[in-house]
A and B are shown apart, each in its own frame.
Chain A
Amino acid sequence: MPSDNNAFFVPEPQGQVPTPEGYFGKFGGKFIPEALVAAVDEVAVEFEKAKQDPEFARELSELLVNYTGRPSALTEVPRFAQHAGGGRVFLKREDLNHTGSHKINNVLGQALLTKRMGKPKVIAETGAGQHGVATATACALFGLECTIYMGEIDTQRQALNVARMRMLGAEVIAVKSGSRTLKDAVNEAFRAWVANVEDTHYLFGTAAGPHPFPAMVRDFQRIIGVEARRQIQERAGRLPDAAVACVGGGSNAIGLFHAFLDDTDVRLIGAEAGGHGVESGEHAATLTAGDPGILHGSRSYVIQDEEGQIIEPYSISAGLDYPGIGAEHAYLKDSGRAEYLPVTDDEAMQALRLLSQTEGIIPAIESAHALAAALRIGRDLGEDGLMVVNLSGRGDKDMDTAARYFGYYDASENAGESK
């Protein structure tokens, strides 16, 4: 019986293996410039080889246990659950991973792959900075040269993470084009990759982009759901009624969902960034309000106008402020296996404070979107409900945004009581 840590790539759930061209149903594929075709194909070939190599699984598992601190805890949150219909709520504590989010799971896998490909340099995009910090961390660990592209607006709202990346030895480039957020950071990283593809791996941070990234990033994040599924059965004696996660590009959500795909009684709930409300037009709720299209190398849902120009998204959360979504989520939405619902800035911020003050756990704003969705779903499920919510990251990086939102910098107000 393999333990969670070396059960990485087996078993593959039925019907969820993309075609050789990288399609999940009609979503996915490889819409990339010719200059990147050879490099992307190399990643795919190397990943297939790595999956068959027990040494790769052993190396990765060793890192995940002794460096990241896996398996991550599953924490029951009864005081929070009282606000969520009175049933039982468990948090999958990806915030307790080294570097503070789920991003490290994928990063360590791809960093090992980078070494196998013999490439000395890594580039990556980052929104909230969590992927950038995780990438800078792995590059420090493996002695790789690291450059992180980050939208200029995000460098401001996530200044702490910029400092962390620089402390780790990475170069952080503030991207000033377009909306100056995650989408533009991805654009700039692609431009840099085209020019430096020979010696550089693009360590893509989410389960989107051209094949093989959606499937590969998912496989590196599957550990979340594999652990959670076992842990919830041990703790609650049954599978949950719902598994809930936030979705920006979708890597933490696909990581949680995947182990539950064949458990058809488990509802899979993705919380999208509703910003100021989907009807306001200021949101990043791609699956709720977008249409099929191509962005950043694959066909999925995108937020676009009637002539295919990408509309600049909005969210208080830098990590969810993205007009695309991983192809497999598009497939799960259309097949009906997963449900996606928008959560506004205000709902997420209230959930952030609620968890902080009922359980002593400060979540990332991204993860707070999942908590807000859980509050809604829990009220439907009632007292017999059982939910697993992915707490994808911790909230330290968001304290400036949160302090402004709640007025904690205002000395005349009593922190915790304001707003």
Chain B
Amino acid sequence: MSGNIELLNTALAGTKAEGRAALIAYLPAGFPSVDGGIDAVKAAFEGGADIVEVGLPYSDPVLDGPVIQTADDIALKNGLKIADVMRTVREAHEATGKPVLVMTYWNPIDRYGVERFTAELAEAGGAGCILPDLPVQESALWREHAAKHDLATVFVVAPSSKDARLKEITAAGSGFVYAASLMGVTGTRESVGEAAEDLVQRTKATTDLPVCVGLGVSNREQAAEVAQFADGVIVGSAFVKAMLDAPDEAAGVAAVRRLAGELAEGVRAKRS
């Protein structure tokens, strides 16, 4: 069975045709429980997310701030396994027909086996992976197996990336490009960095891939602001925080649905 890279490409072409940015939500698998995590992903789609990144929690998430660290800790303490991540991808995709990616660090995949991981992810209906600590020059093995199984390889670019390097990265990537809005780890911010628009422009100069912006976006206004210049708006910590702040799992899932609805309005704000 092949992965759903085409579904991802079609979804992003669709939002572009609608003249708006895509809403991409991030939620860790296994948080607050495996089933609760699946419900949260479905709720994000129901609220209006176009694409969801399912996090595979890792013991040493050096690019994540305290909110996602806390969720990862909860998932891992509950004994989360990669099989649970695959089930999350499968059930979320089958229930909605929407593209679901996995976001994680490189060691869990390296240890699990690249072929085994990509084969299982494709079989579960996954559309691709974002691996923020696997830079392009170390990614050949991953890309070989991802391509074999029709999975997208989404690379992260940062404000510090020079133009020549952007070219190298986007040439190797597929699906879309993840543009980090600022120099920092995941977490909600008061404002989205000014560096984001410049980075999107510099990235677009090197590729036809959609360029989606993540890090720091947490509300409708910020989503609307980013949607002016990006092909997609990625929101993670705000969803996780909504779950963490909720009194119980059902309330958390409802909060995710509500937040996705607000953000979906944001990405549809008229472009000036």
Contact = CB atoms under 8 A, between A and B. Distances in A.
A16 interface: no
B169 A34 contact: yes
Interface stretch (A254-262, A306-314, A353-361): A306-314
Closest 5 CB pairs of A and B: A308-B111, A308-B108, A35-B158, A195-B184, A190-B62
Given A21-B137, A194-B63, A309 B76 contact: yes
Interface string A287-313: 000010111110000101011111000
Nearest to B132: A33
A310 to B, nearest CB: 4
A125 to B, nearest CB: 12
A190 B185 CA distance: 10
Contacts, number: 108
Contacts of B161: 34, 37-38
Interface stretch (A24-32, A221-229, A245-253): A24-32
A266 to B, nearest CB: 34
A212 to B, nearest CB: 14
A242 interface: no
Given A29-B138, A187-B62, A294-B110, A198 B155 contact: no
Contact of B111 (A30, A34, A177, A307): A307
B158 A34 contact: yes
Given A34-B132, A37-B161, A293-B111, 4 more contacts: A21-B137, A304-B107, A308-B108, A308-B110
A39 B183 CA distance: 12
B183 A195 contact: yes
A30 B138 contact: yes
Contacts of B148: none
Nearest to A183: B60
Contact of A191 (B138, B162, B185): B185
A38 to B, nearest CB: 5
A284 interface: no
Contacts of A306: 111
Contacts of A30: 135, 137-138
Contact of B135 (A37, A183, A184, A304): A37
A309 B169 contact: no
B272 interface: no
A382 interface: no
Contact of B63 (A33, A37, A296, A308): A33
A184 B64 CA distance: 13
A13 interface: no
Interface string B147-190: 00000000111111110010001000000000010011100000
A292 to B, nearest CB: 8
Nearest to B83: A307
Contacts of B111: 291, 293, 304, 306-308
Interface residues of B, number: 39
A195 B137 CA distance: 23
Given A29-B138, A31-B138, A304-B107, A194 B184 contact: yes
A204 B81 CA distance: 32
Given A34-B155, A34-B156, A197-B160, A309 B59 contact: yes
B65 A191 contact: yes
A118 interface: no
A178 interface: yes
A194 B110 CA distance: 23
B62 A177 contact: no
A295 B106 CA distance: 9
A197 B159 CA distance: 11
Interface residues of A, number: 36
B112 to A, nearest CB: 6
Nearest to A188: B62
A174 to B, nearest CB: 14
B215 to A, nearest CB: 10
B69 interface: yes
Contacts of B244: none
17 contacts: A30-B135, A31-B138, A34-B160, A34-B169, A35-B159, A35-B180, A35-B183, A37-B160, A38-B165, A184-B60, A194-B183, A195-B185, A198-B183, A294-B106, A296-B60, A308-B110, A308-B111
B82 interface: yes
Given A39-B160, A183-B60, A194-B183, A33 B165 contact: no
A191 B62 CA distance: 6
Interface string B59-83: 1111101100100000010000110
The listed residue with most A CB atoms (<10 A of its CB), out of B58, B60, B161, is B60
Given A293-B111, A294-B110, A307-B111, A33 B138 contact: no
B181 to A, nearest CB: 11
A294 B104 CA distance: 13
A313 B109 CA distance: 21
B183 A38 contact: no
Nearest to B104: A308
B135 A295 contact: no
The listed residue with most A CB atoms (<10 A of its CB), out of B111, B138, B162, B180, is B111
The listed residue with most B CB atoms (<10 A of its CB), out of A31, A307, A309, is A307
A30 B81 CA distance: 27
Contact of A33 (B66, B109, B133, B162): B133
B185 A194 contact: yes
B156 A33 contact: yes
B58 A309 contact: yes
B132 A178 contact: no
A291 B110 CA distance: 11
A191 B63 contact: yes
Nearest to B162: A38
